[in-house]
Chains A and B, each alone.
Chain A
């Protein structure tokens, strides 16, 4: 046991890394590493200014779940599934690379920096958890990945008329992503009819929150696995707008009827078992009060990410989605 694991720290103390993961550099990465990297960047500095504070807010909230460094509480059990989960490999494999030093930069220089950083991580064979930032980071991050691309998008925006005003539209328009390799779950708004027809006719899948809830865990894992096996790189875009705004209120546009944590955590646990190369979190604006002053949005995201991390590291196969 390393010195770090013997010292449960008060939450506000210590080096701020995601879930108290070890701080690392590119040289430390291995093929089985799960590397956290922050991209504190936002394109929209008028209406929704504040997403650039997302990485720090997510790290601050994630410290609550830094069990793997706490010798007194290192083996959590899911209270409903009654499954004990070993945290040892989290300590070995989850690392925090810090943030891309992007402050003050604008596109296209910012996009180049994102592409470069993500490209270098993937070149090491590691998979990433990218903490945004608004959704303008998705296209450059995806562009950095090699070969054919698959995209699972939870929440987030959809392209409208010009088809390049959302990351999905940009990736489709640039031919970086084929519609048949894209699945969109519970988007933040109803799709433009023309886009929806064109997208679905070309093999893309649009799942409303209601449709998605009906998917059993095995089918969801199969869908992610098949998609992952049919492309060179599978990315997961997780925007906070996938959650009902009634649970957090921390996005620019309130959206009701979205998913809950009881939908998202098991889903990400299942998807985490597919060969996902990177997960991109976007849309959290911690400068908004959310529900009163409590930042419920970032807690929702990190709680859902727990499922993904445990699934990705092979520590958990199911959170009994079928029973929920």
Chain B
């Protein structure tokens, strides 16, 4: 199932950046209940714009591991949050297991889809929470598909809520030459999953001009859209709280899809489909801070294209997004 050889070198010789948050690597079958299982999705063959997000999983692993390494070097014991003055330390138990990358077949979107879905399903069936690393945003669909299959087995008859932070709706039925399965259709394909609460689906950060038909369909099915303009006007925290309330109506579980391109390109240029007037890093963090307390048990982050930002800023911002949404799991009170 995994494409990347992940050995278990000694702690001393371990190469930082091989795994997310420099965590342990292993097979999904060894995941502890309640932990997080990382699934890499290094594919951008379903992106119609600038390529490069196939290198996203590696960059996220590198950037999160750099952060962990910096904490270890600077703070042997505990670390103080300057905003709250609370003391924290990195969790030392196996809260996370990096399961490597799904097998990607550039010639077959169907095989790539199944490969990713198998891994996120396997993670969730262990009562662990999949963190799927894109890749272009199409890969959110196979990640959510696997989550949905496991959800049906674990909670038959129940439905889950869904929030997508994104500069774009990704709700097209098909996109020109790319057909029905690509980075403009993942939201639509997710909405067709049998146990997603369609009327609870929420988008945050949509920017600019969108297709009228897609907008009508989303609002017609009861979904809710918060534009980046809404975030600027209402405030990020208020928008996130309203979004969460909408998504969780009658649901106990939430799937979160993070497309980093919702952030304004002035801050984050390393992505395939940039937007202007998008949400700022501060706003993005405020949104994720609210969602960090939500019952998320499936998560993907997509569209980081490190080759488009040689400065490394975009991957560090994306890593920080993961940090914010996983804050309560990565750290524990000292």
Q: Could you list which residues of chain A lie within 8 angstroms of chain B, going by C-beta atoms? A: 8-11, 13, 64, 70, 72-73, 75-80, 84-85, 244, 246-248, 260-262, 290-294, 296, 299-300, 303, 306, 323-324
Given A72-B175, A76-B211, residue A261 in contact with residue B276 (CB < 8 A): yes
Q: Which of B176, B209, B274 contacts A79 (CB under 8 A)?
A: B209
Structural contact, A73 and B269, CB atoms closer than 8 A:
no
CA distance A14 to B310 in the complex (A): 30
Complex contact A303–B276 (CB within 8 A): yes
Residue of B nearest to A299 (CB): B274
Q: Is B215 an interface residue (CB 8 A)?
A: yes
On chain A, the residues within 8 Å of B227 by CB distance are 79-80
Give chain B nearest CB distance to A6 CB in angstroms: 11
- Chain A residues with CB under 8 Å of B208's CB are 78-79, 303
Binary CB contact string for chain B from 7 to 47 against chain A (1 if under 8 A, 0 otherwise):
00000000000000000000000000000000000000000
Closest Cβ neighbor of B173 among chain A residues: A72
Cα(A92)–Cα(B50), bound, Å: 30
Q: Judge whether A260 and B265 touch: CB under 8 Å.
A: no
Tell me if B276 and A79 are in contact (CB < 8 A): no
A299, B265: Cα distance in complex, Å: 10
Is A8's CB under 8 angstroms from B215's CB? no
Q: Which residues of B121-162 are within 8 A (CB) of A?
A: none
Give complex CA distance A246, B48 in Å. 27
The distance from the CB of B177 to the nearest CB of chain A, in whole angstroms, is 5
What residues of A have a CB within 8 angstroms of the CB of B311 in the complex? 292
The answer to whether A291 and B209 have CB atoms under 8 Å apart is no
Q: Which of B206, B215, B230, B277 has the most CB of A within 10 A?
A: B277
Residues of chain B in range 289-311 having any CB-CB distance to chain A below 8 Å? 307-311
B174: A residues at CB distance < 8 A: 72
User: Can you show 20 pairs from A to B with CB atoms below 8 A apart?
Assistant: A9-B177, A10-B177, A13-B177, A72-B172, A72-B176, A73-B172, A76-B211, A77-B209, A77-B215, A79-B209, A80-B227, A248-B266, A260-B276, A261-B276, A291-B266, A291-B309, A292-B269, A292-B309, A294-B50, A299-B276
CB distance from A15 to the nearest CB of B (A): 16
| Residues in B whose Cβ lies below 8 Å from that of A75 | 211-213
CA A73 – CA B310 in complex, angstroms?
33
Q: Cβ of B263 < 8 Å from any Cβ of A?
A: no
The answer to whether A9 and B277 have CB atoms under 8 Å apart is no
Decide if B281 is an interface residue (CB 8 Å cutoff). no
Residues of B within 8 A of A293 (CB): 269, 307-310
Cβ of A225 to closest chain B Cβ, rounded Å: 25
State how many angstroms separate the Cβ of B290 from the closest Cβ of chain A: 21
- Residues of chain A within 8 A (CB-CB) of B269 are 290-294, 296
CB of A292 within 8 A of CB of B274, answer no
Q: Are B308 and A306 in contact (CB under 8 A)?
A: no
Q: A70 near B176 (CB under 8 angstroms)?
A: yes
Q: Are A79 and B277 in contact (CB under 8 A)?
A: no
Q: Do B277 and A262 have beta carbons less than 8 Å apart?
A: yes
CB pair A76 B209 closer than 8 Å: yes
In whole angstroms, what is the CA distance A244 to B310 when docked?
22
Question: Given A79-B208, A294-B309, list of 14 further CB < 8 A pairs?
Answer: A8-B177, A72-B175, A75-B211, A76-B210, A78-B209, A79-B229, A84-B212, A85-B209, A247-B265, A247-B266, A293-B269, A294-B308, A299-B276, A324-B229
Cα A80 to Cα B59 with chains together (Å) = 33
* B167, chain A: closest CB distance, angstroms: 10
User: How many whole Å from A39's CB to the nearest CB in chain B?
Assistant: 25
Provide the residues of chain B in CB contact with A296, threshold 8 Å: 265-266, 269, 274, 276
CB distance from B38 to the nearest CB of A (A): 26
Rounded to whole angstroms, the CA-CA distance of A303 and B48 in the bound complex is 19
Q: Which of B49, B233, B276, B309 has the most CB of A within 10 A?
A: B276
Assembly CA distance A75 to B173 (angstroms):
15
Q: Which of A8, A70, A246, A292 is within 8 Å of B310, CB to CB?
A: A292
B314 within 8 A of A: yes
Max chain A C-beta neighbours (<10 A), residue from B48, B173, B208:
B208
**Please, how many angstroms separate the alpha-carbon atoms of A62 and B95 in the complex?**
46
Smallest Cβ distance from A162 to chain B, in angstroms? 36
Complexed CA–CA distance, A261 and B232 (Å): 14
Bound state CA distance, A246 and B269, in angstroms?
A: 12
Interface flag for B207 (CB, 8 Å): yes
Q: What mask results when residues 179 to 215 of chain B are scored 1 for a CB within 8 Å of chain A, else 0?
A: 0000000000000000000000000001111111101
Inside 8 A of B223's CB, which chain A residues have their CB? Answer: none
B88–chain A nearest beta-carbon distance, Å: 32
Contact present for B211 and A261 (CB under 8 Å): no
Please indicate the chain A residues that have their CB under 8 angstroms from the CB of B276 in the complex: 247, 260-261, 296, 299-300, 303
B225 CB within 8 Å of chain A: yes
Q: Which residue of B lies closest to A261 (CB)?
A: B276
The answer to whether residues A8 and B265 also contact, given A76-B211, A76-B212 and a CB cut-off of 8 A, is: no
Q: Which of A75, A76, A292 has the most CB of B within 10 A?
A: A292
